[in-house]
Structure 1
Amino acid sequence: MFVISINELCNEISRYHPNPDISIIKRAFLYASYYHKNQRRLSGEPYINHPLAVAKILTELKADDKTVSAGILHDVVEDTNQSLERISKFFGDEVAFLVDGVTKISNLNVNLEADEKQIENLRKMFVFMARDVRVILIKLSDRLDNMRTISHLPQEKQKRIANETLKIFAPIAHRLGLYNMKTELEDLSFEILQPDAAKYIKEKLQEIIPKSQKFIDHFRHKVEEILKKEEISNFRIENRVKGIYSIWEKIVNQGIDIENIYDIIGFRIIVEDIGDCYRCLGIIHSHFKPIPGKFKDYIAIPKPNGYKSLHTKVIIPGGYKVEFQIRTFKMHEEAEYGIASHWIYKEGSPISESGLKIFSWLRNILETSRESQYYEVRNISEDIYPHEIYVFTPKGDVKILPRGSTVLDFAYSIHTELGSRCTGAKVNGKLQPIDYILKSGDIVQIITSKTQKPKRSWLNFVITQRAKSRIKQFVVKEEKSIAKEIGEETIKKELRKYNLDFQKLVRDGVISKVCTQMKIKSIEDLLISIGMGKISITSFIKTLKKIVEAKDEKPENIQETTQKQQIQNQDELTGDLKGVKTRFALCCSPVYGDESVGYITKGYGIVIHRKDCVQIQNLPQERIIKISQANFPFEAIYIGRVKLFVDYPEIMSEIISNLNKKGYRVKEIISREHNSRFEMEITILVKNKDDIENVIREISSIENTFGVQRI
């Protein structure tokens, strides 16, 4: 009796694959059945049941026909007299490549007594040897079925395999985003390695779940009613129970009882778009009391493996503490299938070949964005999606870099100081320059010099964002230092013409007044701006003269001319703009109630700005006209934007909740770390200027929010 018939397997793959090669799957089944026909598992069942079970797991991951076929054939070369050449002859090079990959990594020696760093290197080597992520998926599916049927093995062998699964395979499944597989591998291993602890957790869960199930069902229906009432459309609510190993880890690591773990029972709310995610968060927090410090925004700042969701923990009626995960359908698909979601077939077309090669843990480059203001999050995709190379340090540590990385990229991947002092490297024992392009398998020993320092020209050949950000950081700092010296020397030289001493003017506070008059933050910024040519020495001297003459009460009628005409001198545009193409400027987002002006473009109509918009000052003033409020639709919905600083991002849940209660809908939130605080930009739908001012007052009243202002 087979665990799954070949027809059921073919039907399963046909549900998601638009045009599978059913014949290759059936031929793989006949081939494997024939050569495994005299083999049995320790349970006594036919051996073919194992490769069929592996293939079934692969279809649950929505693998393609070649991967499913390789899953059926994965043990043929290792356990029978069949060669890889014959697999290639009958099933093609791609299937043979996958089977060969599984065979090779199955023979990898694993020292489970090694420390965590060495274990991590083993995981990386495991991936390096696999070459193709589909090989990893076949091996993980193979291990999952072996763990499900492990009870027939001798006890010592069970413990060795369970330990290997917990240390090597479960973390790899986690990094690929295969959370269900990771949880099952952990729980099965835990039951073998610590049977008493596993039994205790399972018995406790049996006490908690039956008592709570009726209440859970009732509560889920209640949340559904609330969301429908708040006009959230096309959503789904699920509930889940935390894995026993994950529960045990919390008990051990946090020293708490199982009764004090908040997220044993959790709910997932799955919605259409990101805006609905934040709306649902505000709705949940307005109906149930949030637990302080238990909110995580993995949408604004995803986990290193790419996971996105909003997590919050609340107290619900009855005193239960439960977790809500709120995500879009797309995020849910990626959370459920992990890396496999990159080749799920959509609208009849498979994802491209390159999508199969993505290794999720490259996303540790997100750390760079938290460390440097010069790292741009939009460039992350440059490091996530290229083909990878695997380069070794002299000690055997593996560094994973984008293809095309240089010696300098490698040096910066190890440490900033090493990159900054790098003069070259020994690659496989041969001297190479800093711009030498590395390839997989290279062993690299960095050569440094104390006199070396980063140069702007390095930006012409490094490709990783970490290297670019570190070089920019140094170069900008260095250039500012040089500009400061040039600026100070330029001012001193000019002041000598008037018999004035720069240092005396600084001590007397005159230079500070100049900075205030010129709207410059500090004297240092003034020197840098002059040194870089952003401010002319002439404008500095003019401002200084005004301040000195005012102080001496000897005003001089200095005639200054300007080509800019003032906005207030223009005729006001009144009446209906019907027939005139208009649009609102994105830089200042004017709304009903704002004092506004229009810029007459050449052939593109009128762009409406707020009168205080900085950008309008840089436009030809003869094209500026006033705009009447009559040209703003009174009942329209406008975009309002505010920015603020907070000490921790979790406070956003309180802000969203408060705004939601006041009837304001948050459309978008952008978060970035800035000088140990978090800078937030919030886009809100409003009706007029009063609404924006109310929003600013509402946010300002919340503790630990700073510098709330309109953008």
Structure 2
Amino acid sequence: MPEAELLFSETSQYLKPEDINQLRNAYSFGQGAHSGQFRKSGEPYISHPVAVARILCTLHLDAPTLTAALLHDVVEDTDISKTEISERFGEPVAELVDGVSKLTKIEFQTQEEAQAENFRKMLLAMARDVRVILIKLADRLHNMRTLEAMLPAKQRSIARETLEIYAPIAHRLGLNNIYQELQELGFRYSYPTRYRVLVKATKAARGNRREIVGKILEAIDLKLKESGLNAEVTGREKHLYSIYMKMVEKHLSFSEVLDIYGFRVIVKDIPSCYVALGMLHSLYKPIPGKFKDYIAIPKTNGYQSLHNTLLGPFGIPIEIQIRTAEMHRIAENGVASHWLYKSSDADFNDLHLQTSRWLQNLLETLSGSTDSLEFLEHLKIDLFPGDVFVFTPQGKILTLPRGSTAVDFAYAVHSDVGNCCVAVKINGENAPLRTKLKSGDRVEIVTAPYAKPNPSWLSYVATGRARSHIRHFLKTIQYDESVKLGERMLNQALLSFNINPDTINDTQWEKLVRDSGVKCKEELLTEMALGKQLPAVVAKRLASPLESISSDQIAGPITILGTEGLTVQFAKCCRPIPGDIIVGVIKKDSGLIIHTHNCANITNSQKNSENYLDVAWGKDITRTFESGIKVTTVNKQGVLARVAAEIAKAESNIDDIAMENENDFMHMRFILQIKNRSHLAQVIRGLRHLKEVVRVHRTKS
């Protein structure tokens, strides 16, 4: 096969003869294993592993990686086992092949779940050895190059997955060439019509602007030579996907995207980068706010360069990148630079250290996510490049994705800091935890020993690490609370059948657990608390031979303390507070919902169903609850301030306010934090004493 001979010829440039022999053996072994198999294009299947190995050869990867590339589909698509590969080619090669192989032997509920679990397994293997993902990226790149043989629907599905997962991973590892080709191919097959239109438009623009680009190149080269700088200057056309995303994000037409060309200046050392920048500023005026120094503060994938946008001739903005030759090599090959250029430079060590940190964070996210789809969600969040650089109080720089908040920063410092954060100071001033951070912010997190994550944080955190830790903490807390609540609910149901809960023995519990299809007693109790199982139904199944109790021991209502956490929720439609007569409604996947007994959403017939529980407020409740009031006042200046002051005087906090004017009157609706009915009555009495107040009453929705 000519392609295989090209592979052996190319690898002989840097591998030893014994390594080439191993590749020949792997090729023969793979060719035999894939005998009779063909690709959709009609080519023998072995052509694909050879093409993957040739892509990796351009990165000068080692013999075990290239061997694994030649064998990466044999475990998945043939009868060859991992053990056979290990015996013939060694354990390292077998581990790499296993890391790339899909989970074909396991059945999943949905295609999405199978895909998510495949990513989970692959990335776990990648965290152990980054070469796994290098093979997978080369595999995906060749599949994208040959995607034309697939049906259009399959093309779009694979292309979307490439844009969402594989291209960002390549970017995260600094593999710039692979990243850009994956993006271009992903764009081509995701939006074929838009791709064709843009290709045509850029070809037309290229002819019109070729002369301008040539003049700019000549001017830059001449200016740098005048300053005595020995520099390599190149012009490049921006990639189609980059142009398309700019059009989408800024709502521009193609004709409005002026900077479709960029220029790269490569110099000998770091001081020369800044000298070149100064010279170019004297040639063309810089556009304010467009300068980025990735040399002083490198990107998380190790990328370093000076970026600036200048106003070129005829008012055309031109993008300039200035870097050293070493930076350019890392920019093109990223983490693979370790194999491509055998170097002990600090740049490479820093790059691998940053990659290791990211992989370590990935492992933490893996351990914190029990659900594969949830993990994939975290991964997608983390893969998009970060460009916000913030400082700790000690002056350490942290890189976070765009849109990150103070909570994301807290979890980036340490999971314990995130779990216990209560406030933040940004640049020395107090700020809300949901504040989005900007590059250059100095962030100080205030913690408290007994604080815990708030479920509302999930609505605004931007990093997978923060989201994973918050969910993990809440799930753990919710599980403990659910077990306790489920036990109280079941005990009440048993007592209503005149059954003493203490008479249920382990054998009866084991049978019930087995018949219910759950793993343990605690899981069954949790399902009752979350509304997935009805306590009355479970109690009936336990009712048969159990010992009855006397009527004076019949259970009273379940006590609500307000400290049950996520398993007990208070209905927004009626906003119950201590002192109200209440009922409990079991709602699937939401747990126990507390309503007032006269809530408009509850009918008498519903109250007699198995989904409703008898509940009552406990004593000595210390927390506050939401309650609504409507205040009608004379429409005068300063009346809102006086109403708010009176509410504060009664030791209540305002959560929300809405106002509307009606001729000479103003209607104010407040959501307040109230301890109980007596506290609410105190607030209302205080408001009625104000001469501007015409009417005040409680609202329940």
Give the 3-state SS of the residue equivalent to 1:293 in structure 2. coil
Tell me how far 1:279 sits from its aligned partner.
0.5
Partner of residue 140 from structure 1, selected from 134, 137, 158? 137
What is the SS of the residue equivalent to 1:21? helix
Report whether the alignment pairs 1:373 with 2:370: no
Cα gap change, 1:192/1:368 in structure 2, threshold over 3 Å: closer, same or farther? closer
Aligned to 1:255: 251
Q: CA RMSD in A?
A: 4.4
Choose the corresponding residue for 2:321, options 325, 343, 359: 325
Aligned mate of 1:222, from 219, 223, 231:
219
**Any stretches of 5+ residues in structure 2 without a counterpart?**
362-381, 401-407, 425-432, 434-444, 454-467, 478-701
Give the Cα–Cα distance (whole angstroms) in 1 for the partners of residues 180 and 65 of structure 2: 23
Give 1:28 deviation, angstroms. Answer: 1.1
Cα deviation, residue 346, structure 1: 2.5
Contact 1:369–1:375, Cα closer than 8 Å, also in 2: no
Aligned partners of 1:206, 1:242: CA distance in 2, in Å? 12
CA distance in structure 2 between the partners assigned to 1:278 and 1:345 by the alignment: 26
Matched residues in 2 for 1:153 and 1:250: separation? Answer: 29
Match of 1:101 in 2: 99
Once the two structures are superposed, the pairs formed by residues 672-683 of structure 1 within 5 Å of their partners are none
Map 1:293-692 onto structure 2 (within 5 A).
293-346=289-342, 355=352, 358-359=355-356, 361=358, 370-377=390-397, 408=416, 411=419, 420-422=447-449, 445=473
Residue 206 of structure 2 corresponds to residue 178 of structure 1: no
Alpha-carbon offset, residue 252 of structure 1: 1.1
Give the 3 Å change call, closer, same or farther, for CA 5–279 of structure 1 in structure 2: same
* Corresponding residue for residue 642 of structure 2: none
Residue 659 of structure 1 is matched in structure 2 by none
Question: Match of 1:5?
Answer: 4
Q: Which one is further off, 359-368 or 295-304?
A: 359-368
Number of aligned residues: 409
Q: Report the equivalent of 2:47.
A: 49
- Residue pair 2:421, 2:447 contacting (<8 A) in 1 also: no
Q: Is the 8 A contact 2:238 2:260 kept in 1?
A: yes
How many angstroms apart in 2 are the aligned matches of 1:23 and 1:184? 31
Partner of 2:229: 232
SS at match of 1:294: coil
The residue type paired with residue 310 of structure 1 is: L
What code does the residue aligned with 1:230 have? S
Aligned partners of 2:154 and 2:11: how far apart in 1? 34
- Could you tell me how far 1:124 is from its partner in structure 2? 7.0
Distance 1:209 1:107, change over 3 A: farther
| Aligned residues of 2:259 and 2:316 also touching (Cα < 8 A) | no
1:97 Cα shift?
0.5
Shifted more, 339-348 versus 65-74: the winner is 339-348
Distance across 2 between alignment mates of 1:367 and 1:53: 35
Q: With structure 2 as the length reference, what TM-score do the two structures score?
A: 0.51
Greater RCO (CA < 8 Å, at least 6 residues apart): 1
SS of 1:44 mapped into structure 2: coil
CA-CA distance at 1:215 after TM superposition: 4.1
Equivalent residues of 1:162, 1:192 under 8 A apart:
yes
**Paired residue type of 1:66:** P
Q: Distance in 2 between matches of 1:16 and 1:203?
A: 41
Deviation of 1:354 after TM superposition, in Å, equals 11
Residue aligned with 1:346, SS: coil
Alpha-carbon distance in structure 2 between the residues aligned to 1:353 and 1:373? 23
- 1:152 alignment counterpart: 149
- In the alignment, the residues of structure 1 paired with residue 259 and residue 76 of structure 2 have an alpha-carbon distance, to the nearest angstrom, of 44
CA contact (8 A) 1:162 1:190 kept: yes
What's the CA shift string for 1:645-665, capped at 9, x where partnerless?
A: xxxxxxxxxxxxxxxxxxxxx
TM-score, length-scaled by structure 1: 0.50
| AA in 2 matched with 1:176 | L
Secondary structure, counterpart of 2:55 in structure 1: helix
- Aligned CA distance change for structure 1 residues 260 and 303 (closer, same or farther; 3 Å): farther
Letter in 2 for 1:283: M
2:210 to 198, 213, 216: 213
Q: Percent identity?
A: 38
Alignment of 1:33-72 (within 5 A): 33-72=31-70
Q: Does 1:77 align with 2:105?
A: no
Structure 2 SS opposite 1:370: strand
Could you tell me which amino acid in structure 1 is paired with residue 416 of structure 2?
L
When residues 352 and 112 of structure 1 are mapped into structure 2, their CA distance, relative to the original with a 3 A threshold, is same
- Asked if structure 1 preserves the Cα contact closer than 8 Å seen for 2:302 and 2:351, the reply is no
User: Where does structure 1 lack aligned partners over 5 or more consecutive residues?
Assistant: 384-396, 427-439, 449-711
Work out whether residues 300 and 354 of structure 2, in 8 Å CA contact, stay in contact via their aligned partners in 1. no
Q: Is the 8 A contact 2:298 2:304 kept in 1?
A: yes
Change (3 A) 1:422 1:239: farther
Task: Confirm whether residue 167 of structure 1 aligns to residue 194 of structure 2.
Answer: no
C-alpha distance in 1 between matches for 2:298 and 2:350? 25
Q: Secondary structure at the match of 2:322?
A: strand
For the 8 Å contact 1:105–1:126, the answer to whether it is kept is: no
Give a deviation string over 1:553-582, Cα, whole Å, max 9, x none: xxxxxxxxxxxxxxxxxxxxxxxxxxxxxx
Q: Distance in 1 between matches of 2:61 and 2:169?
A: 18
Cα distance in 1 for partners of 2:120, 2:156 equals 23
- In the other structure, the counterpart of 2:697 is none
Q: CA distance change for structure 1 residues 413 and 79 in 2, over 3 Å: closer, same or farther?
A: farther
SS in 1 for 2:234: strand
Residue 190 of structure 1 is matched in structure 2 by 187
Distance in 2 between the 1:127 and 1:98 partners? 12
Q: CA 1:358 to 1:265, structure 2 compared with 1: closer, same or farther past 3 Å?
A: same
Task: Quote the residue 1:243 is aligned against.
Answer: 239
Looking at structure 2, the residues matched to 33 and 356 of structure 1 have their Cα atoms a distance apart, in angstroms, of 38
In the alignment, which of 237, 262, 283 is matched to residue 279 of structure 2?
Answer: 283
Deviation digits for residues 625-648 of structure 1 (CA, Å, limit 9, x no counterpart): xxxxxxxxxxxxxxxxxxxxxxxx
**CA positional deviation for 1:106:** 8.3
Q: Is residue 176–residue 360 contact of structure 1 (8 Å, CA) maintained in 2?
A: no
SS at match of 1:314: strand
Quote the residue 2:26 is aligned against.
28
